[in-house]
Amino acid sequence: MSISDRLQELISCKSDIKTAIEEKGVSVTGGLSTYADAVREISGGVSLLPGTKFAYSDCSEFPWYDTSGMTDFHLMFAHSKVIKIPGYNTSNATTMSNMVQACTELKEIPLLDCSNVERFEMFGQYSYPILNIPTLGGFRNLGKSITDDRAIAAAAYYNVSFDRCFTTPQSMVNVFNELYDLEANGRDLLTIQINSSTKQNMTDEQIAIATRKGWRVTVS
């Protein structure tokens, strides 16, 4: 197959994906890079019952489910052999605590919506192994719903800690880029704790992405 034929095949495939998304009632207004977010907005699929967990599963992949109504993602994939977290709709999630603790095979987490997350602590506590996850898509509006005084005081450990996750500088930048802008919204300072080895590989300018938004960056 020639390069021209391959390009034409890609164009046709892109058009078919766009049509399939729009047939589900979700408009596609941007380029190909926006398609993943558009898919996450699709509702009406098979919904997971509240409290559903995949913890301790031997599965490395999981099918797409409609999770738009779920609030509790606590221990969702803990101790499983998942390699890539599905791009589930987490827009109504209030807790992701220990969501991927001890997932030692995990290599990728896509962009997840944390607009309503009050409790993050996704990677587990000090009794669990540090996870080497090369690709983090980011966590949209992380910190927006951390508002009560006790949570703010304990934020470095309980809410926005990445100390159990070793990742690449670019993936940490992805996280910083999606953080809720505390400074712009007149919010109190919050702390984001990152793995010390990750921070060693980051530049001052990369760290400043978070500090300019009113976040204090510390290491474990």
24 and 84 assigned to the same domain: no
57 and 141 assigned to the same domain: yes
34 and 119 assigned to the same domain: no
The domain of 34 spans 1-42
Pairing state between β 161-162 and 112-113: unpaired
31 and 57 assigned to the same domain: no
29 and 127 assigned to the same domain: no
Give CA separation, 47 vs 25, 71, 89, 139, 186, in Å. 17, 13, 11, 22, 37
- Report the DSSP beta bridge partners of residue 135: 108
6 and 97 assigned to the same domain: no
64 and 173 assigned to the same domain: yes
54 and 28 assigned to the same domain: no
101 and 166 assigned to the same domain: yes
35 and 83 assigned to the same domain: no
151 and 87 assigned to the same domain: yes
State the pLDDT at residue 157. 47
145 and 208 assigned to the same domain: yes
Coil, helix or strand at residue 16: helix
Coil, helix or strand at residue 119: strand
- Count of structural domains within the chain: 2
Asked whether the beta carbons of 179 and 207 are under 8 A apart, the reply is no
Terminal Cα distance for the chain, rounded: 52
> Tokens for 93?
């999630």
Per-residue pLDDT tens listing for the chain (220 residues): 677 766 677 677 777 777 766 656 566 777 777 777 776 666 666 788 888 899 999 999 988 888 988 999 999 999 999 999 998 999 999 999 999 999 999 999 999 999 999 989 899 888 889 999 999 999 999 999 988 666 565 544 446 899 999 999 999 999 999 999 999 999 988 999 999 999 999 999 999 999 999 999 999 7
State the pLDDT at residue 186. 94
